[in-house]
Structure formats: C-alpha cells, structure tokens
Structure 1
Amino acid sequence: MSLTLSSITISTFSNGLSTLVHILQKAEEYAASQGLDANAEYINARLIDDMLPLTFQVQNVTNTVRKTLTRSQGKADEPWEDGEKTFADLYARIEKARQVIKEADAAAIDAKADETVDLALGPTTVKIVSRYSVLNQGIPNFFFHLNTAYAILRSKGVPVGKRDYIGSFLA
C-alpha cells in the first residue's frame, strides 16, 4: 500500500483530535482531583500574556482540519463561530471536526493533490499546489496549535506527558 495525501491527512487529523480530547479529559480529571473548576482554570489559560488562550488553540486545531480538508477536496469553506467558553463547548467543536473527517472524500483529495488551490494566509491569498498546502501549511499548523494546547495544560500543572501526546498516533 502506498501513501496517499488523503491517508496521511485523514489519519493525522483523526489521531491528533483523539490526542486533543485525551489531554482535555486529563485536564478535567486533574482539576476535579484538586477541587478546581476546569473551565475557570484552563479555558483562558495562556503560556504567556501575548499568546492566545487554550480556547483559541482548540479552535485553530479544528479550523485547520476543516479548512485543509475542504480546500483539498475543492469545496467551499464555511467558517464556524468561535464562541466556546467551556470544556463541553470544546468537545462539541472537536466532534464537528471529526464529522468533517468522516465526510471527507479520500478520492477527491487524492485526485486534486496536484491541482492549484487558494490558501489564505492572513490578509493574503496565495496559489499553491494542494499537496503542498496540506503538507507545508495544514499539517504543521495543526501540530502547532495541538502542541500549544498541550503546553498550556502542562504549564498549568496538568499531569500530561509524551505518552499522552503521542499515544493516539501509535494506537
């Protein structure tokens, strides 16, 4: 079996979302064990003042899934509202992203892998081959925000480690 753009993308995003759910659950469990409210303690937590909070990181993990998969299939992107304020809201958003993955058309992703797509980078849109959009922007951006969410929780004392982060990818 050869690697395809769809198999790389779909498995990476699926496994990463499982990691995200796992570390969020560990945060809730830890908060409960310490008599803390996870929503109050972690939702707006940041690594540093000028960095955006945990909610933003989860939003961007899921936005990256949505944007990358819709773009790579040649579909129009329909933005989601960014209004999450609780862990329950974050889990619901992750489920929406999982649904995008379930509905992804692997054949369309692979058929369009060498076609040019529009990639929005802030106020600029660039033309790029779909496979490079996925491999050089989508997946790195996904991991950046996933890792930042992990680091925020770790910095707040949540007992997560490498196994918690990488476990979903090895299962």
Structure 2
Amino acid sequence: MNPPLLYTASVPVFQRYLRQLGLMLDAAQAELTAGRLSEAQLLEARLAPDMLPLRLQVEIAAGFVLRACAPLQGQAVPPLGTPDPGLAGLQALLQERLSYLDSLVAESFREAELRQISSDAGQAQLQLPATEFLQHLALPNFFFHLTCTYALLRQLGVPLGKQDFDGLHRYR
C-alpha cells in the first residue's frame, strides 16, 4: 500500500531540506573556523532591520517540522523548546528534528486530509483543511525561513550556491 499523500508531501521534504540546511550551517562553521566570520555576527545577521536574525530563521524553520507533522497526525504540537546557544546548538536542533521525522510512521498520516488544523499565522488564528494547511501555510513558511537563512549566509560571504540549497543542481 502506498504511503499517505500528506506523509509523502511533508516528511521526506522536511528531511531533505533540514539536511541541506545542516550542510549550509556546516559551510558557515568553516567560515567561523577560518576566522572570516564571528559567531555573533553570524547568529545576529539580518537581511533588514525589521527581520529576524539568522538564529531565529533556523529555529523557526525547524519549528515548522513539529508545527506541521504533529497536527497532520492528529496530535498536539509538542513544545518547540529553545536550542543550546551558538551554531552548535542550531545544528543539534536540526538533528533533533531529523530524529523526530525519522521516528514518524507513514500510517499515522492515514486520513490526515480529513482533518481541520488550527494554527496561528503571526497574529491570525487559522482553521484550515489539512491539505491546505500543509500546502499554503506550513511548507511555504518552512521554505521562507530556510531561504532567509540561505540569503543571510550568502550575504555574509559563505560560499553557497543553488546546489547547496536543494542538493540537486550541479554547476561545479
């Protein structure tokens, strides 16, 4: 039997792109190690003064794993927690979310498309059918924060390209 659609549309996508995010943070660590960037500069970097810093962009992207997958299974969203400080704490957070994803069973997503999911979107409170929740809120927000992280790293001089974002493109 095929895995449920909302499982295949969420869990493998989050797994792939959390791994890519981890690789991007590895590239940032190399810049720290080489002395071309300070950890404080990295973690507090913003694309604009009113945008969140890189550390929160990573935390929020990782948070969408729980915010999406738990309700799709009919479960409450577990506490998101606060990662340990620094780049190492963000890497540990990504590993924790990957372990969570690895623990999920496709069968727990069976009939997920029948669920109505309540979620906040900024200050808005939403009630959406599960498919719409995943396609129009959870995945776009995950990718928004992932993209902000990528853009911040590029702005800071971390040598990344499109191939580092998706792991599929090849230019080298």
Alpha-carbon distance, 1:127 to partner = 1.7
| Residues matched between the structures, number | 169
CA shift at 1:150, angstroms? 0.4
Please say which of residues 154-163 and 91-100 is displaced more in the overlay.
91-100
Residue identity matched to 2:143: F
TM-score calculated relative to the size of structure 2 = 0.89
In 1, Cα distance between equivalents of 2:99 and 2:159: 29
- Residue aligning to 2:81: 81
Bigger CA drift: 40-49 or 121-130? 121-130
Equivalent runs, 1:57-96 vs 2, <5 Å: 57-96=57-96
**1:124 deviation in Å?**
3.5
Q: Distance in 1 between matches of 2:52 and 2:65?
A: 19
Q: Say whether 1:140 aligns with 2:137.
A: no
Aligned match of 1:30: 31
* Cα RMSD, aligned residues only: 2.1
1:149 corresponds in structure 2 to 149
**How high is the sequence identity, in percent, across the aligned residues?**
27
Match of 1:127 in 2: 127
Structure 1 unpaired stretches of 5+: none
Q: State the Cα distance separating 1:25 from its structure 2 match.
A: 0.5
Provide structure 2 residue ranges, at least 5 long, that are not aligned to the other structure: none
Q: CA deviation at 1:37?
A: 5.2
- Give TM-score, length-normalised by structure 1: 0.89
Of 126-135 and 136-145, deviating more is 126-135
Q: Is contact 2:4-2:106 (8 Å) kept?
A: no
CA gap 1:71/1:159 in 2 versus in 1, 3 angstroms = same
